[in-house]
Amino acid sequence: MTSHDERRAFWEERLGTDWTETGVGYRALGRPFNEWMYRVRRDVFLERMGSLGVDWSRASVLDVGSGTGFYVRAWQQLGAASITGSDLTEAAVARLRDRFPALRFERLDIADPGDALAGADFDAVSCMDVLFHITDDDRYTAAVESIARLVRPGGYFVLSENFLHRPTQRGANQVNRTIGWITACLDRAGFDVLHRAPFLVLMNAQVDAGPVWRKVWGGTLRAATLTEPTGWLAGAALYPLERRLVRARTESPTTEIMVCRRR
């Protein structure tokens, strides 16, 4: 298990040297493939949040773990009235403030945010591909409880996670937890799950698949993305298929998006 200081140092180094989709995404697959992958993520995020019937032009939102600002831009596309971003690292926050000079960004650890967002009351909070990087279960719980305090009653919490049906998988910088554990944590914090759907299907590590398929497909993706040109071609070929799969399937062997509502 990685300590808080080690986790922050890991992300400071990673985002300090690679502030791109690769830095926040699946580094082994290269930047061109990651850019196609993130197109799918953007499409799904916009569709899911747009389907809620919320007038985002009247809403204040918080993005936790903003990284390169990918979901900050998505909230702008949805027309959110007020957007606040945050990140664990100085490397990201300094660049985010330059990229989005009209918006507010805070350097904080969502598991222990201090008074950086004291008194805030958001209509929605997004936390995309962040929580599974919190390797300590108690800090994960603290992060969800902290988010719950920042969402007004009736407001929304959108997150992406791996929601395993298989046993929890623990690594140095990522823990893939079970769907039962995660939903119980959300329930205790005061969130009701509205829906869960695939965020990706084939364009990411198959963490909830059987060991043979996981190894075969992982090797196939790495081979297809050995060079930037082949990575771009692999992403371009998979993109239309992935868009159909995320719409047609109700479960995914990799990352899923979940929308919750604060009780």
Structural domain for 202, as ranges: 4-262
Give the integer Cα–Cα distance in Å for 110 and 125. Answer: 12
- The CATH number covering residue 187 comes to 3.40.50.150
In terms of phi and psi (left: phi > 0; alpha: psi -120 to 50; beta: otherwise), the region of 123 is alpha
The residue behind tokens 């604060």 is: 262
Give the integer Cα–Cα distance in Å for 242 and 200. Answer: 7
Give the H or E element holding residue 47: helix 31-50
Q: What is the DSSP string of 220-263?
A: HHHHHTSSHHHHHHHHHHHHHHHHHHHHH-S--SS-EEEEEEE-
Residue 258 has pLDDT above 80, yes or no: yes
Give the integer Cα–Cα distance in Å for 38 and 203. Answer: 10
Strands (E), the chain: 60-64, 82-87, 104-107, 122-127, 151-161, 169-170, 175-176, 191-198, 256-262
- Of 182, 167, 111, the closest CA to residue 142 belongs to 111
If DSSP codes are grouped into helix, strand and coil, which group holds residue 44?
helix
Q: What is the mean pLDDT of the chain?
A: 93
Residue 16 has pLDDT above 80, yes or no: no
The total domain count for the chain is: 1
What is the tens place of the pLDDT at every residue in 179-209?
999 999 999 999 999 999 999 999 999 999 9
pTM value? 0.92
What is the tens place of the pLDDT at every residue in 130-158?
999 999 999 999 999 999 999 999 999 99
